[in-house]
């Protein structure tokens, strides 16, 4: 069968392998036929040789962590042939740490977790894959063309879940949310904010392309100024750029009792002048919380599946700006700069 693979650590070792072995029964009882995988910046880093780890004893890693497939067989009866399914990306570490021991693999403390298509487990960019029921998430049948958005949605579902848990430390009646960055994560964070009936503001530097209209279609307001220039006091900020000046401005922008969730990963090595004392004073005197959030637990995958099922299907479909057949896989992984989400299509 076909699989899109790389040799981790070797730049430009991306290949379409035609004779990749069928998934071994040990991978899980549920056999799935791939429909599509979404592509993100992590895939680009792995292709560039900067990141990624093949399974133990193997040279090549199958790419793909944003999955969508159709169940071929499930002898456990958890799912049924024909059901849409996505695979949870992360698996608990083998120790396990206190969090992985209770299946909170997204909160792993020792970093020894594994991840499909990223770290020590084969990805989903292959014709067929297998999953144990615990790591298989069923999707609404209407999500056939957009279900590969479940993985990025699970990341923002966790962010919102933790924002709300932190909010419950005291009386919590949020009205305004600011999302910085209108990439797939920012737009999906804005979708979940609009589903909470907040007044939603999205900030991005793009003045053209599909982003402004996608934001307005959610009933949200699109801004291209700096965060500091915004005439807003958001109760919630979800930072999705990882750009240091935006991150710092976002931390300073929250309203009293505000919560700032950081989801963007900065590359580091960049220094900017910054008044740390003023930030400290503001956080203390306003009871503000700044926290980081990554990955997602099983509960967040289920919350994400509900959020996608409730969302406007045509809005979700317009996040997918290119859909590339597997035979043209190199085009799919080539970044154009204009894309929101590129999808590698296994059904074509």
Question: Minimal distance in Å, beta carbon 98 to Zn ion?
Answer: 8
Residues near Zn ion (CB under 5 A): 93, 97, 100, 108
- Taking the least distance from each CB to Zn ion, the nearer of 63 and 108 is 108
| Shortest reach from residue 89's CB to Zn ion, in Å | 14
Nearest-approach distance from CB 111 to Zn ion, in angstroms: 8
Cα 313 to Cα 319: distance, rounded to the nearest angstrom: 10
Minimum CB–partner distance for residue 103 and Zn ion (Å):
10
Q: Which is nearer to Zn ion, 66 or 93 (by Cβ)? A: 93
- The closest alpha carbon to 324, from 68, 61, 84, 37, belongs to 37
233 half-sphere exposure, CB direction, 13 A CA radius: 6
* CB 102 to Zn ion: min, Å: 10
Q: Which is nearer to Zn ion, 135 or 329 (CB)?
A: 135
Between CA 241 and CA 47 the distance in angstroms is: 21
Which helix (H) or strand (E) is 203 found in, with range?
A: strand 199-203
Residue among 95 and 328 whose Cβ is closer to Zn ion:
95
Our separate counts of H helices and E strands in the chain read 9, 19
Question: Closest separation between CB of residue 154 and Zn ion, Å?
Answer: 18
At residue 125, what are phi and psi to the nearest 5 degrees?
-85, 65
53 DSSP assignment: B
Instruction: Tell me whether residue 181 or residue 297 sits nearer to Zn ion (CB atom).
Output: 297
DSSP state of 216: H
In the complex, minimum distance from the CB of residue 77 to Zn ion, in angstroms, rounded to a whole number: 30
Tokens of 210: 């599909």
Q: SS3 helix, strand, coil % of the chain, rounded to 5?
A: 30, 25, 45
* CB closer to Zn ion out of 299 and 322: 299
Q: Least distance (Å) from Zn ion to the CB of residue 107?
A: 8
Looking at the Cβ atoms of 98 and 317, the one nearer to Zn ion is 98
Give the separation between CA 197 and CA 176, rounded to whole angstroms: 9
- With vertex at residue 233, the alpha carbon angle to CA 229 and CA 237, rounded to the nearest 5 degrees, is 90
Residue 15 vs 109, nearer CB to Zn ion: 109
How far apart CA 308 and CA 144 sit, in angstroms, is: 11
**Token pair in block for residue 215:** 């934001």
Residue with tokens 């399914």: 85
């Amino acid at each position: 069968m076909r699989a899109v693979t790389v040799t981790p650590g070797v730049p430009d070792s991306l290949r379409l392998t035609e004779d990749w072995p069928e998934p071994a029964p040990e991978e899980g009882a549920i056999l799935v036929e791939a429909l599509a995988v979404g592509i993100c910046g992590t895939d680009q880093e792995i292709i560039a040789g900067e990141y990624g780890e093949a399974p133990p004893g193997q040279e090549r890693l199958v790419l793909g962590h944003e999955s969508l497939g159709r169940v071929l067989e499930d002898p456990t009866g958890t799912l049924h042939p024909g059901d849409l399914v996505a695979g949870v990306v992360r698996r608990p570490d083998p120790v396990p740490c206190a969090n992985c021991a209770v299946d909170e693999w997204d909160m792993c403390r020792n970093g020894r977790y594994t991840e499909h298509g990223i770290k020590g487990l084969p990805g989903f960019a292959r014709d067929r894959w297998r999953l144990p029921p615990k790591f298989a998430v069923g999707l609404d049948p209407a999500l056939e063309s957009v279900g590969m958005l479940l993985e990025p949605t699970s990341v923002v579902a966790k962010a919102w879940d933790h924002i709300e848990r932190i909010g419950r430390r005291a009386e919590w009646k949020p009205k305004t949310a600011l999302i910085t960055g209108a990439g797939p994560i920012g737009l999906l964070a804005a979708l979940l904010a609009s589903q909470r009936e907040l007044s939603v503001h999205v900030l991005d530097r793009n003045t053209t392309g599909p982003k402004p209209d996608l934001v307005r279609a959610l009933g949200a307001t699109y801004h291209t100024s700096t965060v500091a220039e915004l005439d807003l006091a958001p109760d919630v900020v979800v930072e999705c750029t990882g750009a240091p000046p935006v991150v710092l401005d976002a931390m300073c922008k929250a309203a009293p009792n505000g919560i700032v969730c950081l989801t963007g990963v900065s590359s580091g090595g960049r220094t900017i002048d910054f008044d740390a004392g003023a930030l400290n004073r503001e956080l203390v005197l306003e009871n503000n919380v700044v926290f980081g959030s990554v990955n997602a637990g099983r509960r967040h995958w289920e919350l994400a599946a509900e959020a996608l099922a409730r969302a406007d299907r045509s809005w979700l479909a317009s996040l997918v700006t290119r859909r590339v057949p597997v035979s043209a896989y190199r085009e799919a992984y080539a970044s154009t700069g204009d894309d929101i989400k590129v999808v590698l299509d296994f059904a074509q």
